[in-house]
């Protein structure tokens, strides 16, 4: 592990920060707080007007170098974030809104130690990467639905493109479950890119990119859950499509409202929380808690299931996901298609 090097950006190093409005800054130091009033849509009461990059890195437990803008550093930051910040939609099921304002996201995730969905966790990652100097672009994705064999008609997923030494990589901390990448994916069509969760592949066709995965077999020791609707049944799985057209957070405002209000949305149908570990991933969907250990043995994942009561949900949110909710959660497992 590499130690954090110094307290300031080296003399002459220029940080190219491209925020959601396409603005650029010049020289900044690493401990500087960013005034983000121009990035959001106005601050709700009680939310601070500055965001501290050091507080973000403390939140994800990252203590290594921020000076080297290379693939190793990007991978290290991504892995720290996905193991510290849950992919979750619990606000919806606590009667609260899922906000896009960057200050609100920072307050929720960094100060109050919550998680968020892709529009939030990847927005935060975008801010952090640009603050330390990575050339980062917001992209929009269309999520594949196995149930109807179609990609979403609306752009409902936010992901990032990061350019390092002329090479492009996809960085995504916001898909969760067993579909979450653990390392950035090089933007090369047709290349198999093995990672601990699975083998990922990106393919390009007439300007549209497609992300899919090849999964392992899975062993479920609790026979009562062999037919669970939460289990992914496909060895080959399409995940989402996207183009390389740069986006801003404003492009996601209408879909952010739709996803948390429409009865047709999986996010209103199910309460969920997902957090990666060094060996696998925890998921809580409604009253069902699962743990998937990747490549448990013989190219097979171990998937353990447990049904919780409301008290156990609160305990497991604290103990596994490090989440303490401020409002009462109403766990929900509706009929919309959602797998772990």
Mean pLDDT throughout 289-294?
Answer: 99
Query: pLDDT band for position 189 (50/70/90)?
Result: very high
On whether residue 25 sits in a domain, the answer given is: no
Question: Model confidence over 205-249: pLDDT tens digits?
Answer: 999 999 999 999 999 999 999 999 999 999 999 999 999 999 999
Q: 219: domain CATH number?
A: 3.30.2140.20
pLDDT tens, residue by residue, 295-340 = 999 999 999 999 999 999 999 999 999 999 999 999 999 999 999 9
What's the confidence (pLDDT) of residue 61? 99
Distance CA 261, CA 115 (A): 19
Any domain includes 336: no
Domain tally, the chain: 1
Average of pLDDT values for 44-68?
Answer: 84
Higher-confidence residue of 28 and 332: namely 332
The pLDDT assigned to 2 comes to 38
Round to whole Å and give the CA distance between 245 and 251: 12
Whether 252 is in a domain gets the answer yes
Residues 14-27: what's their mean pLDDT?
33
Is residue 91, in this structure, part of any structural domain at all? Answer: yes
Identify which of 232, 274, 251 has the alpha carbon closest to the alpha carbon of residue 144. Answer: 232
Does 14 score more than 50 pLDDT?
A: no
Report if residue 11 sits inside a domain.
no
Distance separating alpha carbons of residues 41 and 50, to the nearest angstrom: 14
DSSP 325: -
Who has greater pLDDT, 72 or 31? 72
Question: How far is Cα 150 from Cα 145, in angstroms, rounded to an integer?
Answer: 5
Place of tokens 């968020």: 116
Read off the pLDDT of residues 99-158 as tens digits, 9 standing for 90 and up: 999 999 999 999 999 999 999 999 999 999 999 999 999 999 999 999 899 999 999 999
Distances in Å between the alpha carbon of 173 and those of 18, 196, 251? 19, 15, 19
Q: Where residue 181 falls among pLDDT bands split at 50, 70, 90?
A: very high
**Cβ(141)–Cβ(158) under 8 Å?**
yes
Q: How far apart are CA 27 and CA 253, in angstroms?
A: 31
CB 329 within 8 A of CB 271: yes
Q: Is position 328 within any domain?
A: no
Chain segment 164-177, per-residue pLDDT in tens: 999 999 999 999 99
Tell me the pLDDT band of 50, cut-offs 50, 70 and 90.
confident
In a domain, residue 131? The reply is yes
Average pLDDT, the chain: 89
Query: What's the mean pLDDT in 273-283?
Result: 99
Q: Which range marks the domain in which residue 247 is found? A: 33-264
Domain-embedded: residue 272: no
Nearest in space to 125 (alpha carbons), one of 168, 88, 72, 84: 84
């Amino acid at each position: 592990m590499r130690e954090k090097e110094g307290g300031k950006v080296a003399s002459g190093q220029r940080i190219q920060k491209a925020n959601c409005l396409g603005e650029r800054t010049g020289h900044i130091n690493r401990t500087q707080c960013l005034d983000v009033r121009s990035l959001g849509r106005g601050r709700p009461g009680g939310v601070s007007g500055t965001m501290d990059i050091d507080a973000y890195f403390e939140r994800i437990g990252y203590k290594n170098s921020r000076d080297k803008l290379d693939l190793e550093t990007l991978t290290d930051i991504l892995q720290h974030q996905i193991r510290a910040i849950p992919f979750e939609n619990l606000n919806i099921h606590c009667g609260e809104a899922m906000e896009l304002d960057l200050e609100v996201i920072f307050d929720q995730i960094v100060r109050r130690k919550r998680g968020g969905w892709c529009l939030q966790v990847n927005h935060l990652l975008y801010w952090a990467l640009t603050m330390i100097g990575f050339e980062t672009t917001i992209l929009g994705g269309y999520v594949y639905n196995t149930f109807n064999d179609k990609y979403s008609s609306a752009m409902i997923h936010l992901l990032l493109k990061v350019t390092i030494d002329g090479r492009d990589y996809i960085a995504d901390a916001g898909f969760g479950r067993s579909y979450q990448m653990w390392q950035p994916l090089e933007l090369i069509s047709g290349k198999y890119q093995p990672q601990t969760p699975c083998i990922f592949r990106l393919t390009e066709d007439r300007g549209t990119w497609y992300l899919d995965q090849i999964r392992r077999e899975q062993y479920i020791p609790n026979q009562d859950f062999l037919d669970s609707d939460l289990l992914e049944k496909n060895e080959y799985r399409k995940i989402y499509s996207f183009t390389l057209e740069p986006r801003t957070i404003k492009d996601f405002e209408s879909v952010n409202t739709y996803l948390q209000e429409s009865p047709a949305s999986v996010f209103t149908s199910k309460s969920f929380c997902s957090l990666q570990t060094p060996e696998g991933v925890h998921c809580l969907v409604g009253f069902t808690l699962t743990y998937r250990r990747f490549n448990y043995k013989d190219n097979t994942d171990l998937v353990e299931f447990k049904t919780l009561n409301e008290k156990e949900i609160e305990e497991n949110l604290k103990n596994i996901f490090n989440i303490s909710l401020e409002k009462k959660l109403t766990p929900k497992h509706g009929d919309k298609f959602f797998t772990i």
